[in-house]
Amino acid sequence: LFDRTFARLGVAVDYARVPGDRAEWDRLIAPETKAIFVETLPNPKNDLVDIVAVAEVARAHGIPLVVDNTGATPYVIRPLELGADVVVHSSTKFLTGHGAA
């Protein structure tokens, strides 16, 4: 989605290679940055993102933090309570598990 589809639409993406490095998140913010997007359990390494720290970076720059919480589900992690502005889930995976949603 980020590398191909968004690129075709003219949307550029930067990646934080070390999700635990708050300074890296801060360095990646440019004047044209519109949002920060993270997964609570990111592929492929499942290295947890410090949502509180990234939310503080986003807030300091006046941009929203969008969190994909599909893997963790709201039962395990509730990103809104940790400072996220928007939370998304794939309802066909862990919330229902069978695609009927």
- The answer to whether residue 12 sits within a structural domain is no
The DSSP element (H or E) to which 75 belongs, if any, is: helix 73-76
- The answer to whether residue 84 sits within a structural domain is yes
The token pair at 59 is 């807030």
Asked if residue 19 has pLDDT above 90, the reply is no
Residue 85 sits in a domain whose CATH number is 3.40.640.10
- The answer to whether residue 76 sits within a structural domain is yes
CB 70 within 8 A of CB 63: no
**pTM for this one?**
0.87
Q: For residues 16-28, give the mean pLDDT.
A: 91
Q: Residue 92: which residues within 8 A CB-CB, separation 6 or more?
A: 98, 99, 101
- Provide φ and ψ at 27, rounded to 5°: -65, -30
Q: Which domain holds residue 67?
A: 18-95
Q: Which residues pair with 65 in a beta bridge?
A: 36
What's residue 96's pLDDT? 63
> Average per-residue pLDDT in the chain?
88
- The answer to whether residue 100 sits within a structural domain is no
- The answer to whether residue 27 sits within a structural domain is yes
Asked if residue 94 has pLDDT above 70, the reply is no
Number of domains in the chain: 1
How does pLDDT run across 27-73, given as a tens digit for each residue? 999 999 999 999 998 877 788 889 999 999 999 999 999 999 988 88
Q: Longest Cα pair distance anywhere in the chain, in angstroms? A: 41
- The answer to whether residue 4 sits within a structural domain is no
Return the sign of the alpha-carbon dihedral for residues 9, 14, 16, 21: negative
- The answer to whether residue 5 sits within a structural domain is no
